[in-house]
Amino acid sequence: MTAQSAEQVGFQGTGVSIFPITQATAATFTDLFIGVTFLCFICAGSKRVVCPVNGEFVGEAGDLLIFPSGSIVTLENRPVSAANYRATGIYFDHELIDAVFAGPPRASGSPGVQIVREAASADYDVVEVTRQALHDDTLPLSVKRHRVLEPLVWLRHHGIHLPRRGEDQPLNKVRRLIETDISQPWRVEDVARHFAMSEASFRRWLAKSGPGFSQILLNTRLEKGLGMLQSTDTPISSIALECGFKTPSHFSEAFRKRFGLKPRSIRTAEF
């Protein structure tokens, strides 16, 4: 869910990315990692969310879902009859979240995934306000960065809570390193050296987050590929290579094992 689309180009430095999400076939994606705060406005279809904090719920067209950074969730995107699931996604970097949601962290920890029902009928359009700020080429970058805080202020005013950045867990740190060059043939000894650890110490440190290095590497690559399938028209063969797979068939098989469908089914409905 980190792919760049045409709509994202040119927003470097603002701390915000906005992009379309399209899916042709209903599918459930388990244990997805959300690295930075993610807003998802549903345009058509529905999204089932299983959140460790807030349980299971379904977002419908017109709803806005808010995913805190560091979330690990299960999502099911459900297209409507004869039409794709469509949504608009927005990522906000840690600095923007910290600027708006100041103050001591809540004792309860992460608030989990939150939802604003029927956000499309509200008197304030979070997606459109963000898009207008990003596309206004008359604004200096510093002013744009200030403008994109406004939707976060609106969310806070309406009771949404987002945790400020705390100490990163090992999983976050390793995934962020891999994402700097996802096509690189990462080896555990090289990553351990990056963190100034022996391989044995690195594996013990990483065990605090659960999955081992090989699984983190594979998940990072597959989730990057999923995001590119949903939000770009990049050929699947190019996605496979960009995400670090040796061949498109290797990518397709790993994708099917992880998500239960072939990569092409994200873009073309199966009947």
Give the integer Cα–Cα distance in Å for 26 and 48.
11
Give the integer Cα–Cα distance in Å for 105 and 91.
21
CA dihedral 47, 170, 176, 20 (to 10 degrees): 10
Q: Which pTM was predicted?
A: 0.90
pLDDT at 17: 94
Residue 4 burial (C-beta neighbours within 10 Å; 0-12, 13-18, 19+): middle
Residue 266 burial (C-beta neighbours within 10 Å; 0-12, 13-18, 19+): buried
Instruction: Convert the pLDDT of each residue in 88-128 to its tens digit.
Output: 999 999 999 999 997 665 555 678 999 999 987 788 899 99
The segments of the chain whose pLDDT lies below 50 read: 1-10
pLDDT at 7: 44
pLDDT at 212: 93
pLDDT at 167: 61
pLDDT at 108: 56
pLDDT at 4: 42
Q: Is 189 helix (H, G, I), strand (E, B) or coil?
A: helix
Instruction: Convert the pLDDT of each residue in 186-202 to its tens digit.
Output: 999 999 999 999 999 99
